[in-house]
């Protein structure tokens, strides 16, 4: 088993620029990360959160810091570069982990309006889930 540093990407959108809406979206995004990647929190090296310029009610990293076992993870918030016509009220993350899992087995959660950012990953992950389920039935 060979351990490597892997990057996990994810994104979501927020309904409005409020602490409550941002907290709900970030929690949902991190819950999705946990549910599909079976991470040991000691494996998490760092997490970078970006937010579009229309989100400034709370830092996404502050919400991550509230999670159990995230108190020693290096966290950083930055503003996403503004590009005219890009997705609004969007929060993204880039999380670095030490893991024996291959890059192909990592689930990159894209939720809500952010699903459109990487439709290729959504299709690949559905296909991978179906393939894994079929292999499990054969055993």
Tell me the whole-structure pTM to 2 decimals.
Answer: 0.84
- Enumerate the domain spans of the chain: 4-138
What tokens appear for 129 in the block? Answer: 């889930």
CATH architecture of 4-138: 2-Layer Sandwich (3.30)
CA nearest 7: which of 103, 74, 77? 103
Cα–Cα distance measured from residue 43 to residue 32, given in angstroms and rounded to the nearest whole number: 17
Kindly report, residue by residue over 42-58, the tens digit of the pLDDT.
999 999 999 999 999 99
CA nearest 108: which of 40, 13, 8, 5? 8
Helix (H) or strand (E) holding 45: strand 44-51
Q: Is 115 helix (H, G, I), strand (E, B) or coil?
A: helix
The residue assigned the tokens 């290096």 is 74
Q: Which residues are documented as binding site for prephenate?
A: 9, 92, 110
Kindly report, residue by residue over 102-134, the tens digit of the pLDDT.
989 999 999 999 998 877 765 455 555 545 544
Query: Is a pLDDT exceeding 90 seen at residue 9?
Result: yes
């Amino acid at each position: 088993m060979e351990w490597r540093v892997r990057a996990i990407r994810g994104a979501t959108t927020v309904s409005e620029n409020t602490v409550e809406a941002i907290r709900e979206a970030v929690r949902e995004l991190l819950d999705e990360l946990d549910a599909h990647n079976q991470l040991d929190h000691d494996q998490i090296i760092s997490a970078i959160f970006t937010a579009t310029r229309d989100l400034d009610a709370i830092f996404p990293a502050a919400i991550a810091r509230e999670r159990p076992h995230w108190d020693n993870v290096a966290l950083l918030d930055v503003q996403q570069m503004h590009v005219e016509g890009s997705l609004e009220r969007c929060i993204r993350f880039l999380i670095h982990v030490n893991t024996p899992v291959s890059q192909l087995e990592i689930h990159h959660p894209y939720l809500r309006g952010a699903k459109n950012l990487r439709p290729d990953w959504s299709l690949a992950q559905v296909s991978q889930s179906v393939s894994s389920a079929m292999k499990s039935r054969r055993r």
